[in-house]
């Protein structure tokens, strides 16, 4: 991967500044972009889809033309780190909600998910996780209106579990986390992902 390869944060909505700050710390300002249009994706080799509201993301992906461009670039080898609402967006299957207001997922990661399954905003919590490939102390993970992964496909590799449910998974270049890794000050997950995308 050339040194000019960029890391991007999908900046349509959600936890954009926090992820950008981690990327800037690891790669430097000049290698980090906020992605708002198809054109912004041009030199991006590693894309973060942050937490936020998956129904809003889904709508904005269509409105900006980014849906088809992201699908195309992932087939070309671009890496994706999708967290929380991001994970819902990359899943193959999202359980229908009672409201019927559901996102249309990209179908890049063979998991089925149920939104908000750990409770409401007030039920948000932190938990230490053993995360495959991370040395040292357990990773403190923040779960904020998190989705639950109900089922994983055969090609999906589980990187971390919480109470017997997968909370971090990977299918080749697409990574999905049910929690937020960007607010603890621990940059190890971002680093591991960027290494897998050959950004270092």
Which positions from 40 through 79 interact with ligand GLN, judged by CB under 6 A?
51-54
CB 190 within 8 A of CB 26: yes
84 lines the binding site for ligand GLN (CB under 6 A)? yes
Q: Which residues contact 59 (CB under 8 A, 6 or more apart)?
A: none
19 lines the binding site for ligand GLN (CB under 6 A)? no
Give residue number: closest CB to ligand GLN: 51
Size of the site for ligand GLN (CB under 6 A): 11
115 lines the binding site for ligand GLN (CB under 6 A)? yes
173 lines the binding site for ligand GLN (CB under 6 A)? no
Closest approach, Cβ 61 to ligand GLN, in A, equals: 13
115/190 with CB nearer ligand GLN? 115
d(CA 35, CA 66): 9
8 lines the binding site for ligand GLN (CB under 6 A)? no
184 lines the binding site for ligand GLN (CB under 6 A)? no
13/64 with CB nearer ligand GLN? 13
148 lines the binding site for ligand GLN (CB under 6 A)? no
Closest approach, Cβ 180 to ligand GLN, in A, equals: 6
Sign (positive or negative) of CA dihedral 143, 103, 173, 161: positive
> Could you list the active site residues?
84, 180, 182
145 lines the binding site for ligand GLN (CB under 6 A)? yes
Which residues here bind ligand GLN, judged by CB under 6 A? 51-54, 84-85, 88, 115-116, 144-145
């Amino acid at each position: 991967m050339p040194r000019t390869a960029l890391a991007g944060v999908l900046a349509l909505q959600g936890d954009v500044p926090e992820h950008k700050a981690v990327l800037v710390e690891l790669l430097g300002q000049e290698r980090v972009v906020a992605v708002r249009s198809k054109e912004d994706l041009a030199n991006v080799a590693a894309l973060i889809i942050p937490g936020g509201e998956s129904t809003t993301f889904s709508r904005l992906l269509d409105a900006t033309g980014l849906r088809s461009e992201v699908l195309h670039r992932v087939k070309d080898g671009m890496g994706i780190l999708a967290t929380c609402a991001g994970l819902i967006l990359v899943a193959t299957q999202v359980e229908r909600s009672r409201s019927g207001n559901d996102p249309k997922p990209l179908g890049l990661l063979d998991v089925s998910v149920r939104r908000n399954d750990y409770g409401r905003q007030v039920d948000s919590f932190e938990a230490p996780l053993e995360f495959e490939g991370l040395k040292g102390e357990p990773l403190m993970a923040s779960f904020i209106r998190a989705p639950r992964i109900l089922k994983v496909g055969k090609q999906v590799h589980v990187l971390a579990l919480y109470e017997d449910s997968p909370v971090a998974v990977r299918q080749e270049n697409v990574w999905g986390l049910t929690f937020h890794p960007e607010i603890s000050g621990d940059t190890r997950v971002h680093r591991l992902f960027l290494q897998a995308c050959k950004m270092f």
